[in-house]
Amino acid sequence: MQPTGNIHLGNYLGAIRNWVEGQDKYDNIFCIVDMHAITLPIDAKELHANTRKLAALYLACGLDLAHCRLFVQSHVQEHAELSWILNCFTPLGWLNRMTQFKSKAGGNLDAVDAGLYCYPVLMASDILLYHAHYVPVGDDQRQHIELTRDIVQRFNSRYGKQVLTLPEAQIRETAARIMSLSEPEKKMSKSDADPNSRISLLDEPKVIKKKIGRATTDSERLVKFDPQRPGITNLLGIYQALTGQAQAEIEAEFEGKGYGDFKAALTERLVATLEPIQKRYYEYMNDLGELENILRQGADSVRPIARETVRQVKEVVGLG
Considering the candidates 25, 104, 186, 224, report the single residue annotated as catalytic. 104
- Tell me what pLDDT residue 111 has: 74
Q: Catalytic annotation on 224?
A: no
Q: What CATH class does 9-171+287-317 carry? A: alpha beta
**Is 87 annotated among the ligand-binding residues?**
no
In the CATH hierarchy, which fold is given to the domain comprising 195-282? Tyrosyl-Transfer RNA Synthetase (1.10.240)
Residue 72's φ and ψ, nearest 5 degrees, are -100, 130
Considering the candidates 25, 102, 190, 206, report the single residue annotated as catalytic. 190
**Is 34 annotated among the ligand-binding residues?**
no
**Is 42 annotated among the ligand-binding residues?**
no
Q: Catalytic annotation on 190?
A: yes
- Tell me what pLDDT residue 271 has: 98
Work out the pLDDT band at 166, boundaries 50, 70, 90: very high
Residue 193's φ and ψ, nearest 5 degrees, are -65, -20
CA distance 59 to 57: 5
Residue 6 has pLDDT above 90, yes or no: no
**Signed CA dihedral, 60, 61, 66, 70: sign only:** negative
Rounded to an integer, the average pLDDT of 141-151 is 95
What percentage of the chain carries pLDDT values higher than 90?
82
E-assigned strands of 92-204?
Answer: 134-136, 168-170
pLDDT in tens, 184-203: 999 998 888 899 999 999 99
- Tell me what pLDDT residue 174 has: 57
Residue 176 has pLDDT above 80, yes or no: no
Question: What b/e readout covers 258-269, taking b as 16+ CB neighbours within 10 angstroms?
Answer: ebeebbebbbee
Work out the pLDDT band at 175, boundaries 50, 70, 90: low
Outline which parts of the chain fall under CATH 3.40.50.620.
9-171+287-317
SS (H, E, C) 7-34: CEHHHHHHHHHHHHHHCCCCCEEEEECH
**Is 3 annotated among the ligand-binding residues?**
yes
Could you tell me what percentage of the chain is helix, strand and coil, using 3-state DSSP and rounding each to the nearest 5? 60, 5, 35
Decide: residue 44, CB within 10 A, 0-12 exposed, 13-18 middle, 19+ buried.
Answer: exposed
Work out the pLDDT band at 172, boundaries 50, 70, 90: confident
**Is 228 annotated among the ligand-binding residues?**
no
Work out the pLDDT band at 173, boundaries 50, 70, 90: low
The two beta strands, 168-170 and 134-136, are parallel
Considering the candidates 53, 186, 187, 279, report the single residue annotated as catalytic. 187
pLDDT in tens, 56-80: 999 999 999 999 999 999 999 999 9
pLDDT in tens, 83-130: 999 999 999 999 988 887 777 766 677 777 889 899 999 999 999 999
Q: Catalytic annotation on 187?
A: yes
Give the global pTM: 0.91
> Helix (H, G, I), strand (E, B), or coil: what is residue 75?
helix
pLDDT in tens, 15-32: 899 899 989 999 999 999
Residues 6+ apart with CB under 8 A from 177: 10, 14, 187, 237
Outline which parts of the chain fall under CATH 1.10.240.10.
195-282
pLDDT in tens, 242-299: 999 999 999 999 999 999 999 999 999 999 999 999 999 999 999 999 999 999 999 9
**By the 8 A CB rule, do 82 and 129 touch?**
yes
CA distance 257 to 308: 61
CA distance 316 to 170: 29
